[in-house]
């Protein structure tokens, strides 16, 4: 029996992880694609006149089991993968791409959709139904429904190739990350690195059957070494290894894949009648056009550059005192930490005992309770995909709102970084409000036998960030699954996550949870004050970095001709020259492991992190002016979150804030400007 083909007979119909074996996936996908195709055929061949209900709505609820199994499989391919799952992914991705293409190129089905769409002004539809109709019609047109047969076949092939190449890019980046580790037996080489980190390095060495210490390119291992190691040669070696990921000419090199992916995306855009891929993507964003994005990024560049240059001059002064004449990128974290400690007397390692993972999680749960009336209870009767995962039932006034999976620690089969995802969307059907299953995945240092998992302050903000996304899913209250939760425009999706980070810098909130894990002592007022002041520390440099990545992304997707004559490295240097602070190393490049844009959903959309910062700065300013726990404003913000993609995001924001977002709020927060 294949559990993926049965109704999930589990609590809350949660994913039956313990029952699933790898051999279940491919047969399940093959069978469920057939089932979903049959559902689409029934809609297509319905003898009745096309209506919103029998066509648009029916499509929104089709393929439910296929969607759930896809969520399980691809989420595990990120959080708990292995060679076999990656191999299955190579078979499954083309299967799903072919299925999507068949639907999007189904002329008879499109005729029905167009029939309903052409009558939209005469139909009595509510706002959400209108949005679903528009998005469904537009989705077909953007998938080639208006193309001739020959061009449809071309588009199908392009989509198939992109699916395979994007997957390969991500697998290469992960393999390249996992392929490197630095083994050190002489503790003297690790001078400056705090004992708690050394303990983790020692644990990692033991896992590999080695004596001494092991540093990997996983973020919780790599970043502390760059931040604290006094050994400059070690910092240089690690930074070089990190910068060479998928850029060393070896079997995991991504340079050719980048050129192939970019070329395919350009071909797709032109086939659909767009000048370039950025135009194609941005039609469906708040920003609307590449010109608007370039204008936005360049405005931030102009504002941030003087501040960034001033910040780097301060670091150069510190480096010169150590005899370093020319500071390099691999020196940045080390001297930034020194300067931060000097300016704010803040040391990440000194602060970590005040940020025990469990207490930080309690704080974010409590904040969700205070703002939105949510309650969290750990439960142990839901199947999990790994022992590290904890599961929580979320309720509001006694009613179940969501199921939450919390997965916080790194392991071999888990990709780096932090993300929120979902195993089941929220929707309303047959009088039932079917609630979502949400997951928050991070890579925080594991507890040891003597020490709990202690977070850097940056990791604290990371947890709040991902939980902001989670709340978008948890509070979802829409009719249709494809407009639910985080199913919003890409440059709107980061608002809830970045908004929640702001609370980490508010003294009255910090005092409620920043307590020493051994003594219970509250983080002293002067430290809290300095933490709050430190929010804008190195903001010029960070803005330049984000703007540089945004410009590089936009260039790849709107200025492709030059990429044919330049190497990936040359192209990257040329497009980010205005934002470069440190000399470029010919042996390293960012693009070959830039998974956000070549595997994830941020192609022609990386700018949205800064765009969303404008939204979140302006939204939080509203709270600041009226009290950070103001119930009326929280109630309005809850409506924004629960509405998902049912309305235009600017309309949602204006209904919450009373006006369009103002870039001045971000500049004020970042630079006091």
Which residues share a beta bridge with 608? none
Pick left, alpha or beta for residue 63 (phi over 0 → left; psi -120 to 50 → alpha; otherwise beta): left
What is the spatial distance between Cα 574 and Cα 587, in angstroms, rounded to a whole number?
A: 16
Check residue 673 and give its pLDDT.
63
Q: What angle do CA 89, 95, 98 make, to 5 degrees?
A: 140
What is the spatial distance between Cα 83 and Cα 625, in angstroms, rounded to a whole number?
A: 52
What is the spatial distance between Cα 97 and Cα 159, in angstroms, rounded to a whole number?
A: 7
* Residue 215 near residue 182, CB atoms below 8 Å: yes
Burial annotation 337-355 (CB, 10 A radius, 16+ → b, else e): bbbbeeebebebbebbbbb
What is the spatial distance between Cα 169 and Cα 411, in angstroms, rounded to a whole number?
A: 20
Q: What angle do CA 613, 614, 617 make, to 5 degrees?
A: 80
Check residue 610 and give its pLDDT.
92
Q: Which of 352, 541, 338, 531 is nearest to 453 (CA)?
A: 352
* Assigned token pair, 411: 């392991």
Rg (CA), the chain: 25
Q: Angle of helix 107-118 relative to helix 127-142, nearest 10 degrees? A: 140
Check residue 487 and give its pLDDT.
95
Structure pTM? 0.80
State residue 650 phi and psi, 5-degree precision: -65, -35
- Whole-angstrom CA distances from 203 to 209, 356, 441, 448, 497 are 10, 19, 22, 8, 32
* Assigned token pair, 528: 């809290």
Mean pLDDT estimate for the chain = 95
What is the spatial distance between Cα 501 and Cα 616, in angstroms, rounded to a whole number?
A: 9
Matching residue, tokens 């804008």? 536
State residue 566 phi and psi, 5-degree precision: -110, 155
Q: How many CA atoms lie within 13 A of 537 on its CB side?
A: 23
What is the spatial distance between Cα 311 and Cα 326, in angstroms, rounded to a whole number?
A: 15
Q: How many CA atoms lie within 13 A of 478 on its CB side?
A: 33
- Whole-angstrom CA distances from 330 to 133, 574, 582, 601, 631 are 51, 21, 9, 29, 45
Q: Which residues contact 451 (CB under 8 A, 6 or more apart)?
A: 196, 199
- Whole-angstrom CA distances from 86 to 66, 77, 164, 168, 667 are 19, 7, 12, 9, 43
Pick left, alpha or beta for residue 248 (phi over 0 → left; psi -120 to 50 → alpha; otherwise beta): alpha
Q: Which of 27, 163, 36 is nearest to 103 (CA)?
A: 36
Check residue 615 and give its pLDDT.
95
pLDDT in tens, 328-348: 999 999 999 999 888 888 778
pLDDT in tens, 419-468: 999 999 999 999 999 999 999 999 999 998 889 999 999 999 999 999 99
Check residue 346 and give its pLDDT.
79
* Assigned token pair, 138: 């537009």
3-state SS class at 244? coil
Check residue 367 and give its pLDDT.
98
What is the spatial distance between Cα 464 and Cα 364, in angstroms, rounded to a whole number?
A: 7
What is the spatial distance between Cα 62 and Cα 35, in angstroms, rounded to a whole number?
A: 9
* HEC assignment per residue over 295-356: HHHHHHHHHHHHHHHHHHHHHHHHHHHCCCCCCCHHHHHHHHHHHHHHHHCCCHHHHHHHCE
Residues with a catalytic annotation lie at 466
pLDDT in tens, 233-278: 999 999 999 999 999 999 999 999 999 999 999 999 999 999 999 9
State residue 543 phi and psi, 5-degree precision: -65, -45
Q: Which of 104, 52, 97, 108 is nearest to 70 (CA)?
A: 97
Q: Which residues contact 187 (CB under 8 A, 6 or more apart)?
A: 198, 212, 213
Greatest Cα pair distance in the chain: 82
What is the spatial distance between Cα 546 and Cα 171, in angstroms, rounded to a whole number?
A: 24
CATH level 2 (architecture), domain 3-104+106-142: Up-down Bundle (1.20)
Q: Domain limits of the chain? A: 3-104+106-142, 180-243
What is the spatial distance between Cα 568 and Cα 254, in angstroms, rounded to a whole number?
A: 10
Check residue 334 and give its pLDDT.
97
Q: What is the DSSP letter of 537?
A: T
What is the spatial distance between Cα 86 and Cα 497, in angstroms, rounded to a whole number?
A: 29
Q: Which residues contact 570 (CB under 8 A, 6 or more apart)?
A: none
| Ranges of the chain with pLDDT below 70 | 673
Check residue 649 and give its pLDDT.
93
């Amino acid at each position: 029996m294949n559990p993926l083909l049965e109704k999930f007979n589990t609590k809350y119909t949660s994913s039956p992880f313990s029952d699933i074996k790898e051999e279940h996936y491919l047969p399940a996908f093959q069978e469920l694609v057939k089932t979903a195709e049959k559902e689409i055929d029934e809609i297509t061949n319905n003898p009745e006149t096309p209506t919103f209900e029998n066509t648009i709505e029916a499509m929104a609820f089709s393929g439910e089991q296929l969607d759930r199994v896809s969520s399980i499989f691809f989420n595990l391919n990120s959080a708990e993968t292995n060679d076999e799952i990656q191999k299955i992914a190579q078979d499954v991705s083309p299967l799903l791409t072919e299925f999507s293409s068949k639907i999007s190129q189904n002329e008879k089905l499109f005729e029905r959709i167009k029939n309903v769409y052409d009558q939209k002004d005469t139909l009595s539809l509510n706002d959400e139904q209108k949005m679903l109709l528009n998005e469904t019609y537009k989705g077909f047109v953007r998938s080639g429904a208006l193309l001739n047969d020959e061009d449809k076949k071309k588009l199908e092939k392009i989509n198939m190739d992109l699916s395979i190449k994007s997957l390969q890019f991500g697998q290469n980046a992960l393999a390249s990350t996992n392929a490197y580790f630095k083994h050190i037996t002489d503790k003297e080489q690790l001078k400056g690195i705090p004992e708690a980190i050394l303990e983790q390095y020692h644990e990692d060495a033991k896992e590999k059957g080695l004596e001494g210490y092991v540093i990997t390119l996983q973020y919780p291992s790599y970043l502390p070494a760059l931040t604290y190691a006094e050994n400059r040669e070690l910092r240089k070696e690690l930074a070089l290894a990190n910068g060479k990921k998928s850029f060393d000419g070896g079997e995991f090199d991504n340079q050719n894949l980048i050129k192939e992916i970019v070329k395919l995306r350009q071909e797709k855009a032109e086939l659909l009648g767009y000048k370039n891929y950025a135009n194609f993507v941005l039609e469906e964003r708040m920003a609307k056009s590449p010109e608007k994005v370039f204008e936005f990024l360049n405005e931030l560049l102009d504002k941030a550059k003087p501040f960034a240059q001033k910040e780097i001059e301060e670091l150069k002064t510190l480096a010169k005192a150590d005899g370093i004449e020319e500071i390099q990128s691999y020196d940045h974290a080390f001297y930034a930490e020194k300067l931060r400690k000097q300016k704010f007397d803040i040391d990440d390692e000194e602060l970590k005992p005040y940020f025990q993972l469990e207490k930080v999680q309690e704080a974010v749960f409590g904040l969700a309770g205070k703002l939105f009336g949510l309650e969290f209870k750990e439960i142990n009767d839901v199947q999990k995909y790994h022992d590290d995962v904890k599961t929580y039932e979320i309720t509001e006034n006694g009613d179940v709102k969501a199921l939450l999976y919390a997965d916080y620690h790194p392991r071999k089969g888990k990709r780096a970084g932090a993300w929120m995802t979902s195993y089941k969307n929220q929707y309303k059907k047959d009088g039932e409000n079917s609630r979502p299953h949400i997951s928050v995945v991070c890579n925080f240092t594991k507890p040891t036998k003597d020490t709990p998992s202690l977070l850097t302050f940056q990791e604290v903000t990371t947890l709040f960030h991902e939980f902001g996304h989670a709340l978008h899913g948890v509070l979802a209250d829409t009719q249709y699954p494809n407009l639910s939760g985080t199913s919003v425009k890409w440059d709107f999706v980061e608002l809830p996550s970045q908004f929640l980070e702001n609370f980490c810098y508010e003294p009255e909130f910090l005092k409620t949870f920043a307590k020493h894990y051994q003594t219970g002592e509250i983080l002293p007022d002067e430290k809290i004050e300095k933490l709050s002041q430190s929010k804008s520390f190195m903001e010029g440099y960070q803005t330049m970095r984000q703007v540089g990545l945004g410009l590089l992304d936009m260039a790849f997707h709107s200025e492709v001709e030059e990429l044919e004559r330049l190497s990936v490295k040359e192209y990257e240097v040329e497009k980010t020259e205005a934002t470069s602070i440190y000399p470029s190393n010919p042996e390293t490049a960012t693009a070959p492991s830039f998974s956000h844009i070549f595997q994830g959903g941020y192609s022609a959309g990386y700018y949205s992190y800064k765009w969303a910062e404008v939204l979140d700065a302006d939204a939080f300013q509203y709270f600041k002016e009226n009290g950070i726990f103001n119930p009326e404003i929280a109630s309005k913000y809850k409506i924004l979150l629960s509405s998902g993609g049912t309305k235009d995001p600017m309309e949602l924001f204006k209904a919450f804030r009373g006006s369009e977002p103002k870039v001045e709020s971000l500049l004020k927060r970042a630079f006091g400007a």
